[in-house]
Amino acid sequence: MHLTTRRHLLLAAAGIGLSAPLLAQPRPDKVTVAGWSKPITEVTPLLVDEDKPFYRAQGITLDYIPGAGGGDAIRNILSGQADVAFTDPGSLFAALDKGEKLRAIYDIYPQNVFNVVSLRKSGIRKPADLKGKRIGVYSLSSGTRQNLQVMLHLAGLSEADVTVVVTGLLNFAPLLQGQVDATAATDTGLLVGRRRGLAEVDVMEVGKVLNVSSDLFVVREEVYQRRKDVLRRFLRGYRDSAAWMMASPAEAAALAGKRAIDATDPELALEIIKVRNASSVSELTRQRGLGTMDVAMLQKAADVYRQLELVQHPLDMAQVVAVDLLPGR
């Protein structure tokens, strides 16, 4: 008897349907993303793998490692604990300045979402007013600190002129309680603060002086060279997940309620989703698709960081940005 026919008979005798494929499907490729945060609402496109097929359709299984700032995300890919870092340009520049071989492969948020917030009664109206003040940041390795440094330097100040205080992610309580005079945050952080009673504040937006991307996907050069096909499929999955969140914000907010640690208020979750959707697009991405990187703007930001002595060496971002993995390429 032919071996295949015999196997069919054995399967039928065991009650196993013959419609199931007899050959095992290829095992999906695992991609581990190192985040700058815990699994919070604004990273919902990375949290719905169990609920939506975006990554599975690309043959990818996803894992997420939390962090406390973009520097943490970079460290987790350098140590091999993760494949992809969800990190801010400042942390990328700092790692490149130290000689790390890294590639930026996708622009997650092409808009600069960072700001510095103070209570109106404090009299802090402009960056120069921060001199001698206590300023909160999420962590010492976060984009809040990097962008605070940019704002200080553009005002002729440095960290030596202020006292930097690590306050954690939800850092408006220390501001309200008078533990800091101002706090560096993101647009979603400010949104949460306002929902929790933060009123009568002055907001200095870093994007008005340097509108560089807030976050990028970054990988080690070795991973970029060795896993191009896997990374390309991961980016397709992320692109599809981000596009779904834009098209279906209410559904995304509902799933965030299941998967994100901060999504206890459905209305607030929806507001965060909408704000993050807005930061995910730019004129460039409208023309060329989600994830498109503005190399010229990244170069401008790298040059500003060097001028302000936040990095010591010239950085050539054209050699760092890899466009060949972007969806549609």
Q: Which residues pair with 102 in a beta bridge?
A: 220
Per-residue pLDDT, 11 = 35
- Residue 10 in tokens: 């054995």
pLDDT along the chain (329 residues), means of 10: 41 39 70 96 95 96 94 96 96 97 98 94 94 93 88 90 88 87 92 85 92 96 98 98 97 96 92 96 95 96 90 97 89
Per-residue pLDDT, 246 = 97
Output phi, psi for 169, to 5 deg: -65, -50
> Cα separation of 54 and 238, whole Å?
7
Rounded to two decimals, the pTM is: 0.85
* Closest alpha carbon to 127 in 212, 186, 213, 205: 205
For CA atoms 98, 102, 107, 109, give the dihedral sign.
negative
> Cα separation of 42 and 260, whole Å?
9
- Residue 65 in tokens: 């490692």
Pick the CATH number of 114-208 from 3.40.630.10, 3.40.50.300, 3.40.190.10, 3.40.50.720: 3.40.190.10
What are the start-end ranges of the H helices in 79-131? 89-97
Cα–Cα distances in angstroms (integers) from residue 117 to residues 162, 170, 287, in the given order: 15, 13, 33
Per-residue pLDDT, 307 = 87
Per-residue pLDDT, 170 = 64
Element (H, E) at 254: helix 249-259
Domain with CATH 3.40.190.10 in the chain: 29-111+212-319, 114-208
Residue 220: Cβ within 10 Å count: 22
Q: Give helix then strand counts, H and E, for the chain.
A: 12, 10
- Residue 70 in tokens: 């973009």
Pick the CATH number of 29-111+212-319 from 3.40.190.10, 3.90.120.10, 1.20.120.420, 1.10.10.60: 3.40.190.10
- Residue 62: burial class (beta carbons within 10 Å; 0-12, 13-18, 19+): buried
Please tell me the number of Cα atoms within 13 Å of 312 on its side-chain side: 4
